[in-house]
Chains A and B, each alone.
Chain A
Amino acid sequence: MSAANPTGPLGQEERESLLSAMYDGEAAAGECDLVARRLARDPALRQRWSRYALLGAVVRGDQRFLASEGFSRRLAELVAHEPAHGESPTAPAAAAAGAARRSSLRDFGRRWRLPVASIGVAAGVAAMSILFLRAEPRVAEVVTAAARDPAPSYTEPQTLGTASGRPGAAVVPAAQLANYVVAHSEYSNPLGRRNLLSALMAGESFGNGAAGWPATGPDRDSEPTASVRAIHTSDFADGSALDEPGGADDAAR
């Protein structure tokens, strides 16, 4: 059997809840912008999530939708300046990358409504993320001030550390901590494991520079001992962190 019940365009129910959620949010949350940027910049990503009815709504100029400003406007704006692609939605990402640049939102929207054979649980994709991100409080209360710091230090003695002797001497090098996290993930439940690895993927927890691991021996002196940048909030402010390494699309498959 297959989970594949390709769902069509959003049903009334989903659509209503989506719209109401968009109305609920006053201004576009930062997260919405992140998702919008990501979708706008990555044709392959858009392609994979082409049943994204929200985009359709944006493109069709759904007035109720557009009334919520924020996300939809931002997305339309971003998409207008990004290369779209004329390939079929199932074409490989590599092919898509070379496709003709287009700027017509209407054409773009029409392509988005094409069926996608391989999609199983054809969820609404980014729309979901956006919806839920907006509907829920931002995460942040458990995140310490140090973690929000643009360059948080690994050591955070002010709250939990009762450092004695030489504070910070026990600090684990970033790369070593990442190793621990990877090793620990093997003993987590499936959800915990996935979360951990995803977080490692997103963060810079593997330390700075290529000196994270000694290639020939445990020369700890050469390891970075600070800056486990586990949490970022400002990397996307200027879009710089969105610059993708050359292999990103290839890596997608």
Chain B
Amino acid sequence: MRPDSRAAVIWAVLATGAGFAGRAFADDAQEWLERMNTALMTRSYVGDFFHVQDGRVEALRIIHRVERGEVRERLVSLDGSGREFIRTGSELACYLPDKKTVLVEQRPAGDSLFANLPAFDHGAAGSYELQSHERARLMGRDTRVITVTPHDEFRYGYRLWIDESTAMPLKTQLCDEHGNVIEQVVFAHITLPERIPDSDFLPGISTHGFRWLRHEPKPATAAVPNSVSGPVAGPENAGTWEALRLPPGFRMTTRTSQPMPGSAGPVTHLVFSDGIASVSVFVESSAVPEGASGEALSRVGSSSAYSTVVEGHQVTAVGEVPPETVRYIASSVQQQMPAGLAGGPTMAPTPIAPTAPEPTTVALPGAPPYPARAGFAGDPGSLGVPPGQFGPGPLSLNPGR
């Protein structure tokens, strides 16, 4: 069906009643968002775009390939820093020519980008209003304009121009709750090639003389390449880190413990999502000088980061949300000491975990084994927790095993 005729059908349907039309708008928006997400994740594409944020304009190219279930992606700065991000499967390498450094971030084995997708799922319905607007022409293409408007100040919204024939977002804006644009991406062109050669995923710069910094999940017996030389602290297994309260609509979707470049021991990583926005909380014990306290807020792009000290641990929340949200979440994170520590925290059956790959055991020399992560790949809508009632519950994972 041609887009034109499809649109005609939609409009005919909408004409039948205002109340119904409102509902149809929302459904239509939901459908477009899902279609867009699917396109972004599963299609192979090459595109150049401008990333615009607070007066900075960066020209970038993205090359994204999905082949036999493996995602390869390369994000290249076309000017300025010359930096690149290259993802191959679960590995993300950051090439930083200005620092003569390559940073390698490794997702836990078995983890998949697809599984982590918070998506524009139904869980978001309570926190955002989705609207489909009239078709708009964007430089010669028919696009569907979709707005995602937050109900409160804890999250940002989106305005999206989605290409009708490919579902690729040609232009996206991140907006605050007043609708002010705080970040945008505008594509100059996109192609969806049948094949993208491997050679397109090689860095465009010579890495001769670069330092490679990587922290990979390794079995306890394996040598950890010159990245951890000091004592490895790992008291996180003494209890489970939880957010005692969360902004409305947020719920925990992932818990993992993993080594990270630049961190001495495994870092506890919690992920919270409202169905659209996500916030990560990182807990490190070794990072804090004894007796330290204090708090700090920062921004990276339109994302916010907030760091504080809780019980001698450094707790940092990062997310594409307003500053208040990361502060709120980081401040509510506590270490829960379950009564029966030997047996681990009591844990209700996790409804979704069985479908996820078995958590990989990650350990560093001298450290007890850690579960790599517990993923929740199923319908997150079923995990909804009423605001204010979040706590150790169905999502708890026994870190001690």
Residues of A whose CB lies within 8 Å of any CB of B are 1-5, 7-8, 10-11, 13-14, 30-31, 34-35, 38, 41-42, 44-45, 48-49, 118-129, 132-133, 136-144, 147, 154-157, 159-173, 175-184, 186-192, 194-203, 205-206, 209-210, 212-220, 223, 228, 230-233, 235, 241-242, 244-245, 247-248, 250-253
Judge if B340 is at the interface, Cβ distance under 8 Å.
Answer: no
Indicate if the CB atoms of B55 and A232 lie closer than 8 Å. Answer: yes
- CB B369 to nearest CB in A, in angstroms, measures 20
Judge if B23 is at the interface, Cβ distance under 8 Å.
Answer: no
Contacts of B296 in A (CB 8 A): 154-157, 161, 168, 170-172
Judge if B120 is at the interface, Cβ distance under 8 Å.
Answer: yes
Instruction: Give the residue of B100, B119, B200 whose beta carbon is less than 8 angstroms from that of A189.
Output: B119
Q: Which 8 A-B pairs have the closest CB atoms?
A: A199-B301, A165-B293, A217-B229, A7-B140, A251-B204, A169-B292, A120-B191, A184-B280
Judge if B60 is at the interface, Cβ distance under 8 Å.
Answer: yes
Indicate if the CB atoms of B101 and A213 lie closer than 8 Å. Answer: yes
Indicate if the CB atoms of B302 and A128 lie closer than 8 Å. Answer: no
Indicate if the CB atoms of B139 and A168 lie closer than 8 Å. Answer: no
Indicate if the CB atoms of B297 and A159 lie closer than 8 Å. Answer: yes
A252 to B77, CA, bound (A): 7
* Dominant secondary structure at the A interface: loop
Indicate if the CB atoms of B192 and A3 lie closer than 8 Å. Answer: yes
A183 to B324, CA, bound (A): 21
Contacts of A195 in B (CB 8 A): 51, 174, 183, 185, 301-303, 320
Interface residue total, chain B, C-beta cutoff 8 A: 138
Stretch at the interface among B7-15, B78-86, B240-248, B385-393: B78-86
A167 to B174, CA, bound (A): 32
A169 to B307, CA, bound (A): 10
Contacts of B99 in A (CB 8 A): 206, 209-210, 212
CB nearest neighbor in A for B313: A170
CB nearest neighbor in B for A159: B297
Indicate if the CB atoms of B226 and A244 lie closer than 8 Å. Answer: no
Contacts of B384 in A (CB 8 A): none
- CB A219 to nearest CB in B, in angstroms, measures 8
- CB B106 to nearest CB in A, in angstroms, measures 10
Residue contacts A-B, CB under 8 angstroms, 30 given: A2-B191, A10-B139, A45-B79, A122-B140, A128-B186, A160-B297, A164-B294, A165-B294, A171-B296, A172-B314, A175-B262, A177-B307, A182-B105, A184-B278, A184-B319, A186-B92, A187-B116, A187-B278, A189-B276, A196-B303, A199-B183, A199-B303, A200-B83, A200-B94, A202-B58, A202-B77, A215-B211, A248-B77, A250-B204, A253-B204
- CB A41 to nearest CB in B, in angstroms, measures 8
A45 to B49, CA, bound (A): 11
Q: Which of B287-326 contact A (CB under 8 A)?
A: 287-289, 291-303, 305-309, 314, 316, 318-320, 322-324
Judge if B59 is at the interface, Cβ distance under 8 Å.
Answer: yes
Contacts of A162 in B (CB 8 A): 295
Indicate if the CB atoms of A216 and B226 lie closer than 8 Å. Answer: yes
A149 to B92, CA, bound (A): 31
CB nearest neighbor in B for A164: B293
Judge if B182 is at the interface, Cβ distance under 8 Å.
Answer: yes
Contacts of B308 in A (CB 8 A): 170
CB nearest neighbor in A for B172: A191
Instruction: Give the residue of A13, A163, A164, A199 whose beta carbon is less than 8 angstroms from that of B51.
Output: A199
Judge if B236 is at the interface, Cβ distance under 8 Å.
Answer: no
- CB A96 to nearest CB in B, in angstroms, measures 13
Indicate if the CB atoms of A189 and B120 lie closer than 8 Å. Answer: yes
Besides the known contacts A182-B105, A184-B278, 9 further A-B residue pairs in the complex with CB atoms under 8 A apart? A35-B50, A128-B188, A179-B262, A183-B260, A188-B278, A195-B301, A199-B300, A215-B213, A230-B300
- CB A91 to nearest CB in B, in angstroms, measures 16
Contacts of A11 in B (CB 8 A): 137, 140
Indicate if the CB atoms of A184 and B204 lie closer than 8 Å. Answer: no
Judge if B54 is at the interface, Cβ distance under 8 Å.
Answer: yes
Q: Which of B301-357 contact A (CB under 8 A)?
A: 301-303, 305-309, 314, 316, 318-320, 322-324, 327
| Residue of B80, B137, B282, B291 contacting most chain A CB atoms (<10 Å) | B80
Contacts of B51 in A (CB 8 A): 195, 198-199, 201-202
Contacts of A45 in B (CB 8 A): 59, 78-79
Indicate if the CB atoms of B293 and A251 lie closer than 8 Å. Answer: no
Contacts of B101 in A (CB 8 A): 206, 210, 212-213
- CB A159 to nearest CB in B, in angstroms, measures 7
Judge if B68 is at the interface, Cβ distance under 8 Å.
Answer: no
CB nearest neighbor in A for B141: A121
| Residue of A14, A144, A201, A247 contacting most chain B CB atoms (<10 Å) | A201
A153 to B305, CA, bound (A): 13
Contacts of A192 in B (CB 8 A): 277-278, 320
- CB B239 to nearest CB in A, in angstroms, measures 20
Chain B 64-107: CB-based contact to A (< 8 A → 1; otherwise 0): 00000000000111111111110000001010111111010101
Indicate if the CB atoms of B50 and A129 lie closer than 8 Å. Answer: yes
CB nearest neighbor in B for A247: B205
Stretch at the interface among B24-32, B125-133, B163-171: B163-171
